[in-house]
Chains A and B, each alone.
Chain A
Amino acid sequence: MTTFIKANFKVSYPNFNFDVDLQLPASGITVVFGPSGSGKTTLLRCLAGFEKSGRLEIAGEIWQDKNKFLPPNERAIGMVFQESRLFPHLKVRENLLYGYKRTPAESRKLHLDGVARVLALENLLNRGIEKLSGGEKQRVALGRALLTTPKLLLMDEPLAALDTQRKVEIIPFIRKIEQELSIPIIYVTHSMSEVLQLVDTMVILKGGKVMKSGPVEKVFSDIHLRDAIGDEHSGAILDTTVLEHDKEFGITRLDFMGQELSVPLQSIEPGKGLRVHIHSKDVSLATQPPEGLTSVLNILRTNVKKIGKNVGYSVDIELDAGRPLLATITRKSLSNLNLQPGQSIYALIKAIRMVHENANL
């Protein structure tokens, strides 16, 4: 990981102190996740230059510190907002070219034709803004930001205002931008589904502070993060590879670091990557592989890594399955099993809740 962004921001509002110190990679999608009011948008505003405070270094270049402040219009940053913020007095083409015209000719690397093709905007160019659907508006906003040839793309909950169908329509474009145009993206969201589909690096914010940042599988299954991620999301993210499809039983078999998992039938070619989300509540533990028959299809050999603090009558156990995996068990079970760090244990996975194609793998 080449460090691309070194950011240190301190902003004080009445009732809210924002104080972060972050180093982020030069590639891929960094998802900033956290509850409302955690400072996600403030982070983007600082990066974009809308808040004057702290220090920011991008690719070795200082953008702001005590003596220097690069104004937003001089930063090579593209920004996409939750509400598309297209200019209603301009047509699609003029909206797309607004930033392009204001980018010095020698810095322009992306052009209207190319961006319109990648984002499938060719047929919309002469339309007025009011005639666009929500999804189309966001694609135009994305294209408009890209046409300034940004070094970094900031996206502030760009899909939050769209229905599920439109979201599905846009997510591949975001992946495509990151891969085909190699522009690093910082993506703010509170939607777990977006996190799973997009994230490479994850930053978790809470109350204006960074709780944790790093590669997603490490960050996500940290047992101390339950509060920030929320009970319903607490669990692990595993990147797997599709092995084969069993059409008769409607099952797709996956390879996870030499072990096997089964999920409901997927429409993804064997060999492709699939990212799965396993909720900690869906993981039971057994000191021996279940003898005889069991209805649980997915059993992983793991080691106990860490035993978390009690949450009511439950406790989170961090397991090492090659990648971190989380299990939530009762305190009673913990005492019955007499778990110790380092002990080998079988994880019985009752359900794999969310499954997403991950083109990165």
Chain B
Amino acid sequence: MDLHSLDYGPIWLTLQLATVTMMILLIIGTPIAWWLANTCSKIRVGIEAVVALPLVLPPTVLGFYLLIMLGPNGWIGGPVQTLTGSPLSFTFTGLVFASTLYSLPFVVQPLQSNFESIGRAPIETASSLGASRWDAFFSVILPLSRRGYLTATVLGFAHTLGEFGVVLMVGGNIPGKTKVISIEIYDRVEVMEYAQAHLLSAVLLLFSFLVLVMVYSINKKLPVNVS
């Protein structure tokens, strides 16, 4: 195997995609998870089901709907095209959008169970001490949620790294724009370049393994937060 012949483009693009997706997921996943953990609303089960859909749907189904939605005639892609001149399908932005939806449950679910296990007590205690809701969240809930966020980040990141179906449907296979590792591997196998496919697969395997080892060892060292 020859490292020099390796095309780093897809690797780089994959890392970019996973990082951007993860940042968006943490920002939108936190309020969704918080709401799900605390609400008594009747629509809660509905929202929970929607969030969990990507877990059970074949990626091609999700990808297909997204392709239509993000395309030039879709209800997201259309307005975007009138604004910017091009639709979202087959773009990096489109990929980020798709990945965010696809990995949503992997971030929301660990955060939700984390918030549920923390319970109402710390936030009520903080508010009895004069902290507003936001203040209490940032000064108490967030520091108590380190384990939850670590798990959510790793699961979300790793899941985005490995996605294939959705990306292929929404992003196609455009080098430098939408061609990520998993698709590159598929391409190499298609044209019988097994050496390259091996190399890329090994990189992904090793990377995933190392990340998980890291997470579990950090997780072991973090205190379990019981007051």
* Interface residue ranges, A against B (CB under 8 Å): 48, 50, 71-75, 77-79, 81, 83-89, 98-99, 102-103, 129-130, 144-145, 148
Contact = CB atoms under 8 A, between A and B. Distances in A.
Contacts of A77: 128
Contacts of B128: 48, 72-73, 75, 77-79, 99, 145
B122 interface: yes
Contacts of B129: 73, 98-99, 102, 144-145, 148
B226 A85 contact: no
Contact of A98 (B121, B124, B126, B226): B126
A88 B130 contact: no
Interface in B135-183: 135-136, 139-140, 143-144
B73 interface: no
A83 B140 CA distance: 17
Contacts of A83: 121, 227
Contacts of B38: none
B117 interface: no
Q: Give the top 5 A-B pairs by smallest Cβ distance, nearest first.
A: A99-B129, A102-B130, A79-B128, A72-B127, A89-B143
B166 to A, nearest CB: 37
A85 B130 contact: no
23 contacts: A71-B127, A73-B128, A73-B136, A77-B128, A78-B128, A79-B128, A81-B121, A83-B227, A84-B227, A85-B125, A86-B227, A87-B122, A87-B125, A87-B144, A89-B140, A89-B225, A98-B126, A99-B129, A99-B130, A102-B129, A102-B135, A129-B227, A144-B129
Interface in B99-138: 121-122, 124-132, 135-136
A81 B124 CA distance: 11
**B129, B131, B136, B139 pick with most chain A CB within 10 angstroms:** B129
Contacts of A144: 129
B85 interface: no
A87 B227 contact: yes
Contacts of A98: 126, 129, 131, 139
Nearest to A86: B227
Nearest to A71: B127
Contacts of A129: 227
B125 A81 contact: yes
Contact of B226 (A78, A81, A88, A148): A88
Given A85-B227, A103-B130, 11 more contacts: A72-B127, A73-B136, A75-B128, A77-B128, A79-B128, A84-B227, A85-B121, A88-B144, A89-B140, A99-B129, A148-B130
Nearest to B128: A79
Contacts of A87: 122, 125-126, 140, 143-144, 227
